A and B are shown apart, each in its own frame.
Chain A
Amino acid sequence: MSSLSLALRDSSTMLRRNLLHARRYPSLTLNLLLTPIMLLLLFVYIFGDTMSVGIGGGGPDRAKYIAYIVPGLLLMTIGSTVVGTAISVSNDMTEGIVARFRTMAIHRGSVIVGHVIGSVLQSVLSVVLVGAVGVAIGFRSTDATVIEWFAAFGLLVLFALSLTWIAVGMGLISPNAEAASNNAMPLILLPLLSSAFVPLHSMPGWFQPVAQYQPFTPAIETLRGLLLGTEIGNNGWLAIGWSLGLTVLGYFWSKAKFNSDPQR
């Protein structure tokens, strides 16, 4: 068997295994989905009136704030979902089964590739679920064309891929599930420090760089632009740059960690 077909075959076997896990034990994924959904409902129904006054002037307009917050929460959903990836990778590494995989004549990277593809698929599914909640409470894309919808989807997948690789690396360096959950915490916290809930210009001046120079803000601004027609500016390139950069970083980091001798 050629090495490419070996890689494809073993990776798809590993993907099937991970999807089987996710299907058998959906509670982890569902729990992680609760955070963005709760935040969405909280910010819209409890803080919504005040927030809408703050972001755009004029009177309280909850619908306006729904439109503002949903793109950010879709990306936050990805951050939240990949925490589950870090946990399941870490769990996997502590189980003897991965030691068994390492002693088998299979494509070496397939264990990780299976996790990555499985995680991206789960992220997309989670985004769809949170998006459905958004639509249910009144989110509507104002002017997105078919191309913009595809671009939005592509951005979400690319962003999910990059965060997944980082989460896999975090899972590999974590000795147990608790540590993995802690190590991956920034992936949930970063969106709170981005333009997901309030615009950059409304933040204190000293804090704006923190919110600006991190992956979530350009990705959120790009998604907003694609779905709602706001100004994208150079955020599109920044979002792609961040995503590709994190993907490459996470890929080499995970690869190095997985290939080093197991210490536990």
Chain B
Amino acid sequence: MTTTTHELAIEATGLRKAYGDKTVLDGIDLAVPAGTVFSLLGPNGAGKTTAVQILSTLVSADAGTLRVGGHDLATDPQAVRAAIGVTGQFSAVDNLITGEENMLLMADLNHLSRREGRRVGAELLERFDLVEAAKKPASTYSGGMRRRLDIAMTLVGSPRIIFLDEPTTGLDPRSRHNMWNIIRGLVAGGVTVFLTTQYLDEADQLADSIAVLNGGKLVAQGTAHELKRLVPGGHVRLRFTGPRAYENAASALREATRDDESLSLQIPSGGSQRELRAILDWLDSAEIEADELTVHTPDLDDVFFALTSHPTTGPATVPAALKENQR
């Protein structure tokens, strides 16, 4: 393989898709360099699955220039299919047959020789810890096992580009971490991963580049670090037990944002030692006792909520959207 990081594994310009009069994807531009993990982040119904379905040749796009693995999706879908592997949101295993038979089915469909198919199948079952369950019908597998079998089946054809549509949805924390390790292993092997998720920590952990999809539009794109810079700095949150202390503090601290319901104040702060000491000193001198003090640094959650609160907001209106969430 002579892929360099400059080559684009996935390239989309002006991708549009509508079902009836409902626009699902409204002009999306994507560029995923080969050998990287790209994460498409968005709330339920944002259009993530549709994007994966289109890029994996399952559904046709209404408009847009799309290239996957260097091949044009519209003119040469079969070449795209030969380059990709897909693990969809709903398990794509044959439940009526055993795990091993599923692997052999994939080997046959990838046109491996019988011997090669058996070798690859056995190797992947071993790698995904499915050897014990190999002879049991896939319908008896747990959610995590089925997801592992699903990915193992995807890997039989050694695809260079893998689409993973919400691969950890519905998995317990341990299975989720296992899945993360699997994905890291794939990337280490030079595979390009296109990952959709609604878990921000997942994108934060795995992705080289993240795009936030909301209401069919990309509302932000960049590294996790760049996205976090989109929202204003962190804050210190003071919570009070009684309304009196709360009112006292609120009237003295003009720049704080009030939350009358939970009797708490938010003071903009970077969370440095000096800033925290200043707040503590001030509380002491005013003889106000806060019930709880928490330091909040911006994370992807803030970005996510800020960017996805309004279905129609573009990046330009982020501050307005932010205010609504920063109660």
Contacts and interface: CB of A to CB of B under 8 A. Distances in A.
The SS class assigned to the B binding surface is loop
B109 A101 contact: yes
Interface string B67-100: 0000000000011011010101011111111000
B158 interface: no
B31 interface: no
Nearest to A17: B105
Given A96-B91, A97-B92, A261-B59, A104 B157 contact: yes
A97 B81 contact: no
Interface residues of A, number: 24
Interface in B31-58: 56-58
Contact of B57 (A21, A95, A102): A102
Interface string B94-115: 1111000100010011110000
Contacts, number: 65
Given A100-B88, A104-B109, A20 B101 contact: yes
B125 interface: no
Contacts of A1: 111
A103 B110 CA distance: 12
A105 B83 CA distance: 9
A95 B84 contact: no
Given A10-B109, A21-B97, A97-B94, 13 more contacts: A1-B111, A16-B108, A17-B97, A95-B94, A95-B95, A100-B86, A100-B153, A101-B109, A103-B58, A104-B81, A105-B81, A105-B82, A261-B59
Interface of B: 56-60, 78-79, 81-82, 84, 86, 88, 90-97, 101, 105, 108-111, 137, 153-154, 157
16 contacts: A9-B108, A9-B111, A17-B105, A21-B96, A24-B97, A96-B88, A96-B92, A97-B93, A97-B94, A99-B58, A99-B88, A101-B109, A103-B81, A105-B79, A106-B109, A262-B58
Q: Give the 9 A-B residue pairs with the shortest CB-CB distance, closest first.
A: A96-B92, A100-B92, A105-B82, A105-B81, A13-B108, A103-B86, A96-B90, A103-B56, A97-B94
